[in-house]
Structure 1
Amino acid sequence: MPGRTAARRSIALLASAALLGAGAGAAATSAPAPAPAPDTSRRAVTDTVVAISIDALNPKALTKLGRAGTPHLHALLDQGASTLNARTEHELTLTLPNHTGMVTGRRIQATTGGHGVTWNDDRRRPGTVQAAAGESVESVFTVVDDADLSAGFFASKTKFSLWDRSWPLATDAQTIIENNQKLVRAFKRDLGGATRAFRLLHLSEPDVVGHAKGFMGQAYLRAVRRADRRVGSVIDVLRTDPRYAGHTTVILTADHGGRGKGHYDATSIHDYRVPFVVWGSGVDPGTDLYDLNPDYADPGRDRVSYDGVQPVRNGMVANLALDLLGLPAVPGSEHDADQDLGVSAD
């Protein structure tokens, strides 16, 4: 239905332009270029992508808890393509900036082409990602929408309402429930009742408990175990429902790690090191993402800038998901913009 999509995109761009004027003051912005038509020649390897972000999942929690403590996450590691040594955005190890990077494929700093979301709260000024960046910013949601497919997000922090304000006509589902158990129930109901190409599920409890009780402490580790069970309940649906079994790919990562009292030090490996796991359709099981991708480099313990050979980053979620769906990269994106992050040897 190209006519419907074109009309929706025109309305969305007008709305974004109005918000830009309100949020960016006197800063001048050029008219956004029309979104490119979907490249229908690309080959899809999956029908739907489920992205799962476990807020503040320090990879060391997985090694400390082991298979007995996190059986479902370890099953994804065993059966997927993964690394426990991916990186956050370079500038900040905070929730909203990194999650916005996940869905836009952009770095954070607006002056160098980033999305501009440097805050981590519910503020309404700037009111949109576009206002923060000072220009039109597309996302995984808008690319999916341009292909006349459906996308949505399910988050457990109210600050994610920024996304619905930024891409109001492309987020067909926008569910925010702070209780993680209730959120997962809503997510599974949506799996049962709607056909979507892309969904993002955000689980906040490890971060919430980490701030209250200390990251990598016993209370935090118990929260990670609960997150593991919730992920497992979602995977059970994807494995057993014939609408998803064999037709779904999961991308699991985190916005940041954490140790002790917080995760605010973007120069600390405990904060900038995150997992990145891909499981399901189109994925070679039991493989290492760095072994599959010689154009990317395992960073060891280093904090790597955006110059030179890149590590796997959490900001690659958007373009990897679109690649798996046979759709083009997010316009203006940087992370995996060539869609060359492989999850199989083919």
Structure 2
Amino acid sequence: MAKQIERVIIIGLDGAGNFIKETETPNIHGLLEKGVLTYSAQANSPTISAECWGSLLHGVSPDVHGLNNDIVATKTYPEDSRYPSIFKIIKQARPTSKLAAFSAWGPINHGIIEQSAQDHSVSQPDAELVESVATYISENPDVALIFVQLDGPDAAGHQHGYGTKSYLASITEADQYVGTVLDALRKAHLMDSSLVIITADHGGGGENHYSHGSDHPQNKTVFWGCHGPGMNTKMKLKEGFPIMDTAAIVLQALGIEQPGQFEAEVPEGLFLEQAIIDKK
């Protein structure tokens, strides 16, 4: 009998688009090629971090959650919003669940995820951040959800241009950081019972070599992949799979009903069998 999914780890490479196919990413490819992987997933519009991470974590489009970079930089996400994040949904369904957010871009932790739903919250540069993630995993094997956001690729894109050698090198560096997180899961003997999702919030360099925000395919098209027990590894995600669906996939994996206002959906056939946590 296949192991159940006991926890979900989301790893996001900010601004990486689908450029992982153009540079060395042995850790990401080594995992996702044994799971489900697409290079044609679609970010939300506008292709800006707050809007895109907001949709991935709240399961609704930007015009519904209403977040943008200016708002998340100065305000905390309202606890009474009709559009809670998956963190808040999980915490309400299972108050004792351990939930942790590790974001190099700090506004995610205070402006996109509700404060009441984070048992552990860290904002650090990428290299330090993944060491904190690794330590947390070793000390908290019973964690239910970990969100990790790495900022290096987007910073390199803005500085050097998306698609340049320096930018691609930053994605390879981010892959090394992903490897640190995966190694921590393996050392704690948690990999076989974890659903790991790795993706990007948006790409860049479409209309402006050093930026993003438009609906240009290079800004909108991103990679998305997952690996875990009970996943249908023979499945091909539909062209244009929306990364917003990540929110619904996480709740399904943890056996938690998604709210009626969700726009996110679980792709039919993604879960090969019932490999989710018993709601008890």
Q: Deviations over 1:256-304 (max 9, x none)?
A: 0112211121x2000000111011222233x3432xxxxxx41xxxxxx
Counterparts of 1:47-196 in structure 2, within 5 Å, are 47-59=6-18, 61-65=19-23, 69-89=24-44, 91-109=45-63, 114-120=64-70, 123-124=73-74, 127-130=75-78, 135-146=81-92, 147-148=94-95, 149-163=97-111, 167-177=114-124, 179-194=125-140, 195-196=142-143
Amino acid corresponding to residue 146 of structure 2 in structure 1: R
Counterparts of 1:290-305 in structure 2, within 5 Å, are 290=237, 297-298=238-239
Q: Which residue, out of 131, 139, 162, partners 1:215?
A: 162
Q: Is the 8 A contact 1:139 1:330 kept in 2?
A: no
Q: Which has the higher contact order (CA 8 A, sep 6+)?
A: 2
Describe the shift of the 1:123–1:229 C-alpha distance in structure 2 as closer, same or farther (beyond 3 A): closer
Amino acid corresponding to residue 37 of structure 2 in structure 1: S
Q: Which residue, out of 259, 263, 275, partners 2:212?
A: 263
In the alignment, structure 1 segments of 5+ residues that lack a partner are 1-43, 291-296, 299-310
Runs of 4+ aligned residues of structure 1 deviating over 6 Å after TM superposition are: none
Describe the shift of the 1:342–1:53 C-alpha distance in structure 2 as closer, same or farther (beyond 3 A): farther
Q: Is the 8 A contact 2:72 2:111 kept in 1?
A: no
Describe the shift of the 1:183–1:63 C-alpha distance in structure 2 as closer, same or farther (beyond 3 A): same
Amino acid corresponding to residue 78 of structure 1 in structure 2: E
Counterpart-to-counterpart distance in 1, 2:123 and 2:250: 22
Counterpart-to-counterpart distance in 2, 1:128 and 1:333: 21
Q: Which residue, out of 241, 256, 277, partners 2:225?
A: 277
Amino acid corresponding to residue 233 of structure 1 in structure 2: T
Counterpart-to-counterpart distance in 2, 1:180 and 1:229: 11
Describe the shift of the 1:82–1:288 C-alpha distance in structure 2 as closer, same or farther (beyond 3 A): farther
Displacement of 1:121 in angstroms is: 6.6
Counterpart-to-counterpart distance in 1, 2:100 and 2:52: 18
Q: Is the 8 A contact 1:319 1:329 kept in 2?
A: yes
In the alignment, structure 2 segments of 5+ residues that lack a partner are 274-280
Displacement of 1:170 in angstroms is: 1.1
Q: Is the 8 A contact 2:101 2:109 kept in 1?
A: no
Paired residues, what number? 265
Match of residue 254 from structure 2: 325
Match of residue 277 from structure 2: none
Q: Which residue, out of 270, 276, 279, partners 1:343?
A: 270
Describe the shift of the 1:85–1:331 C-alpha distance in structure 2 as closer, same or farther (beyond 3 A): same
Displacement of 1:331 in angstroms is: 4.9
* TM score, norm. by length of structure 1: 0.71
Counterpart-to-counterpart distance in 2, 1:138 and 1:261: 33
Q: Is the 8 A contact 2:50 2:72 kept in 1?
A: no
Amino acid corresponding to residue 54 of structure 1 in structure 2: L
Describe the shift of the 1:154–1:135 C-alpha distance in structure 2 as closer, same or farther (beyond 3 A): closer
Counterpart-to-counterpart distance in 2, 1:317 and 1:324: 10
Q: Is the 8 A contact 1:104 1:330 kept in 2?
A: no
Amino acid corresponding to residue 21 of structure 2 in structure 1: T
Whose Rg is larger? 1
Describe the shift of the 1:145–1:160 C-alpha distance in structure 2 as closer, same or farther (beyond 3 A): same
Q: Is the 8 A contact 1:103 1:315 kept in 2?
A: yes
Secondary structure, aligned partner of 1:334? coil
Displacement of 1:180 in angstroms is: 0.4
Match of residue 249 from structure 1: 195
Counterpart-to-counterpart distance in 1, 2:15 and 2:133: 20
Describe the shift of the 1:80–1:203 C-alpha distance in structure 2 as closer, same or farther (beyond 3 A): same
Identity %: 22
* TM score, norm. by length of structure 2: 0.87
